[in-house]
Copies of this chain bind each other. A is one copy, B any other.
Amino acid sequence: MKNYIVEDEWNIIESGFDPHLNKISESIFSIGNGLMGQRANFEESYSGDTLQGNYVAGIYYPDKTRVGWWKNGYPEYFAKVLNAANWIGIDIKIGETTLDLNKCEIISFKRILNMKEGYLERSFVVSLEGNRQVSVVTKRFCSIVDDETGAISYAITLLNFDDELTITPFIDGDVQNQDANYDEKFWDEVYHEVHDQSAFLGLRTKKTNFEVCTGMQFEIHTSKGPLVSGSQKITKEKYVANEVKIRVQKEEKLTIYKYAANLSSENYPKGILLSTCHDMLQQVAAKGFDKMLAEQAAAWEKKWEESDIVIEGDVAAQQAIRFNIFQLNQTYTGEDARLNIGPKGFTGEKYGGSTYWDTEAYCVPFYLATASPEITKNLLIYRYKHLAKAIENAEKLGFNNGAALYPMVTMNGEECHNEWEITFEEIHRNGAIAFAINNYIRYTGDKDYLISYGLEVLIGITRFWSQRVNWSDDKKQYVMLGVTGPNEYENNVNNNWYTSTIAIWCMKYTLESLEYVRTQSPESYIELTERIRFDEFKETAEWKSIIQNMYFPKDDNLGIFLQQDGYLDKEQVLVKDLNPADRPINQKWSWDRILRSVFIKQADVLQGIYLLEDQFDEATIRRNFDFYEPRTVHESSLSPCVHAILAAKLGDEQRAYEFYLQTSRLDLDDYNNDTDDGLHITSMAGTWMSVVEGFAGMRIKDDQLYFHPFLPVKWQSFSFNILFRGSVLNVKIGHDGVHLENKSVTPLTVCIFDNAYRVNEFANLYVANSDSRNDIQV
């Protein structure tokens, strides 16, 4: 755990430069706009330890997998998020000295991620040989207004000497993924162009043939105004640059404005990429840096209106929750149904792929409540579009009749993970995808989604479950063998309770949805069922039989659901009994020791209880929570939020707050020693859930919002906006009670501690706290 980020409500601040922290900061201070993202690498040369990263949404490379021992069914390729051309680069030479923070004395250094306005600022003063002091202030952002562009202002001042500056803005496409399996470079050059004040580089990915045109246009301003003298054009393979030499006086500030665009063939025909890039750069350059930044700030203001959580009385918590929300919004805007939310977003290469079950299980609730319904709908349609691939994927594993198994990790719908115990067995992802459809409809009321898209996906998934279970002559019930549940510290178990539970839930929901579509849109129903050769009578009868006769492991003595068959055969020790030197066990213990232990990586039975809370009475939830929580090591970033929400529901406010702390500053404080690889983007949604579903106890039932809030002891208040059915509701929980403000024209009814309140358009409502929250709870 690190503790070097300065606490501030709206800014992430690093003061002073420690090269050992640089890769962590490169992740934390990443900027993005949903279409492109950039780690906080330096514009100028840096010869120290760094992970260069610029990522363009939707562009990937199917790297040949590296496998120890091949298993039938493994995919040949692992789709990787690609490090794309470096567009931020501005090499600076002062006299004969290259500016390089790894090679000079750093007098001061500061990095600020301004989350309110959406830009990164960096300022430093360094001393070169001979006490020549240089000051630099840079700002840069990926525009969320002109969303294929980025802009940089780079101001340099020689503090105590005159000298010649050589300024070389460049685009460098000779980049590599650090995680390339065979050290291959993934890009080929297609074309390049260099003009006086601009340069363009067209690159094509090997195998996938994506094209990206990266362009830059720059201006240099001296104290006397824009510099008009020409530049020297430089080209090398996969590299274009303009070199400008200029004599500057002591204390004269020179500012380089660099505008860049990354246009991909995903969004334009290849033939017009270059010309479009050219035009786009002229437009943004004409607008100018300051105007672009002002528009950026205004656009971010609007985003914050939708999705901010305000915490009073706890700066660290405030900073953390905003950081989580900021990064989520930088990663995914929801405007393009071909895109998704990679676990590292645009902040690193690790994990590859862009889509995990994280999206449905963790991100969907965040986007539902903080953004327009279309955004979540696009996430659902993403999976709808991948249905054919999911069916293919299942066929490869031996399933048939349109059974769909969505991939564990994917970019284009094809599976690209290759660990049999996960790829083939962590099949609960199918459940999350079905549940997200239900979640979307529950939240938005848009039941017609079932007609247009949802039902077809649900049938594919249910067909899979119906083939994945088998009848046990021994148990006289259906069983589900050879499964890895959410708790990846168990592999290839039989009858994982969570997986079986979500599977049966899927089957029931599919039957309901079938009925809905059949009655509400008979012609769609007929079209669909004929197209996918759905044998209504036979298939539904089989599903019903499975639903009625499914086996779920449980222990009657303890009154709990069993994570899987045989779980109670394990030595029943608790996390508190673990020697701290043995933690995290995923770093300290051999894999077989972990597998044989009772310890749970992340919520598993409790994940199921969280999702299907209404099916269980509170005593059942409590017994399971009390049994599983002490066995859970939370070595997944996706775990504590679920425990926080359940602890909150059970009235254990202290523990709920502790679990929240575990997630909210995970990256800012580098809890797990892995932030250098990139941020844990998807688990950030879990942090938001901890606050809104945990502390505020928000639920959606019967087309209404419910809140069972409490205020963490340390806080004075917290508040957030919720978009719900056309209303914008601000909810503020203070010591005195709950304050609601309907900021929209749509009135709505909200239940606080199960009492219904109507909040009119643009009206406020205050619900006083009773002395004891428990008295109010139903």
Contact = CB atoms under 8 A, between A and B. Distances in A.
A305 to B, nearest CB: 42
Contact of A571 (B67, B470, B491, B494): B470
A398 B571 contact: no
A491 B491 CA distance: 9
A491 B71 CA distance: 13
Given A68-B68, A72-B586, A72-B590, A473 B595 contact: no
Contact of A568 (B67, B420, B472): B472
Interface residues of A, number: 50
Contacts of A71: 590-591
A398 B590 contact: yes
Interface in A376-420: 396-398, 418-420
Contact of A482 (B421, B587, B595): B595
A20 interface: no
Contacts of A775: none
A596 interface: yes
A569 interface: yes
A591 B69 contact: no
Q: Looking at A473, A587, A591, A594, which has the most chain B CB atoms within 10 Å of its CB? A: A591
A662 interface: no
A570 B65 contact: no
A511 interface: no
A586 B70 CA distance: 11
A72 B419 contact: no
Interface in A484-511: 491-494
A748 to B, nearest CB: 47
Interface in A405-446: 418-421, 424-425
B494 A491 contact: no
Contact of A474 (B68, B473, B568, B595): B568
Q: Looking at A67, A424, A482, A569, which has the most chain B CB atoms within 10 Å of its CB? A: A569
A475 interface: yes
Contacts of A605: none
Interface string A744-767: 000000000000000000000000
Interface in A45-96: 65-69, 71-74
Interface string A540-575: 000000000000000100000000011011111000
Contacts of A587: 72
Interface in A561-612: 565-566, 568-572, 586-596
A241 B678 CA distance: 56
A396 B590 contact: yes
A479 interface: yes
A65 B596 CA distance: 25
Nearest to A596: B482
A474 B425 CA distance: 27
A519 to B, nearest CB: 36
Q: Looking at A68, A397, A471, A571, which has the most chain B CB atoms within 10 Å of its CB? A: A68
A155 interface: no
Given A471-B571, A475-B569, A494-B569, A592 B425 contact: yes
B596 A397 contact: no
A481 interface: yes
A481 B590 contact: no
A72 B589 contact: yes
B474 A592 contact: no
Interface string A157-168: 000000000000
B72 A569 contact: no
Given A66-B66, A473-B568, A420 B481 contact: no
A570 B470 contact: yes
Contacts of A570: 470, 472, 481
Q: Looking at A396, A586, A593, which has the most chain B CB atoms within 10 Å of its CB? A: A593
A294 B565 CA distance: 66
A590 B68 contact: no
Nearest to A570: B481
A589 B424 CA distance: 12
Nearest to A568: B474
Given A491-B492, A566-B494, A592 B73 contact: yes
A592 B397 contact: yes
A473 B572 contact: yes
A656 B479 CA distance: 36
Nearest to A471: B571
A481 B565 contact: no
A479 B568 CA distance: 11
Given A482-B595, A482-B596, A566 B565 contact: yes
B481 A569 contact: yes
Contacts of A566: 481, 494, 565-566
Interface string A459-483: 0000000000011111100010110
A770 B571 CA distance: 58
Given A424-B591, A589-B398, A590-B398, A481 B596 contact: yes
A445 B68 CA distance: 44
B424 A72 contact: no
A513 B481 CA distance: 41
Contact of A397 (B69, B420, B471, B590): B590
Given A418-B68, A471-B571, A569-B475, A590 B494 contact: no
Contacts of A595: 482, 492
Contacts of A492: 421, 491-493, 595
A635 to B, nearest CB: 12
A424 B68 CA distance: 15
Nearest to A558: B474
Contacts of A596: 470, 481-482
A62 to B, nearest CB: 15
Contacts of A398: 589-590, 593
A742 B194 CA distance: 95
Contacts of A474: 555, 568-569
Nearest to A565: B566
Given A71-B591, A472-B570, 15 more contacts: A66-B68, A68-B418, A72-B588, A72-B594, A73-B593, A397-B590, A421-B492, A424-B592, A425-B592, A474-B555, A474-B569, A481-B569, A481-B596, A482-B595, A566-B566
23 contacts: A66-B66, A67-B68, A68-B68, A68-B418, A69-B419, A72-B587, A72-B594, A73-B590, A74-B591, A397-B590, A397-B593, A398-B589, A398-B590, A424-B590, A424-B591, A470-B569, A470-B570, A481-B566, A481-B570, A482-B595, A492-B595, A494-B566, A494-B569
Nearest 4 A-B pairs (CB), nearest first?
A73-B590, A424-B592, A474-B568, A71-B591
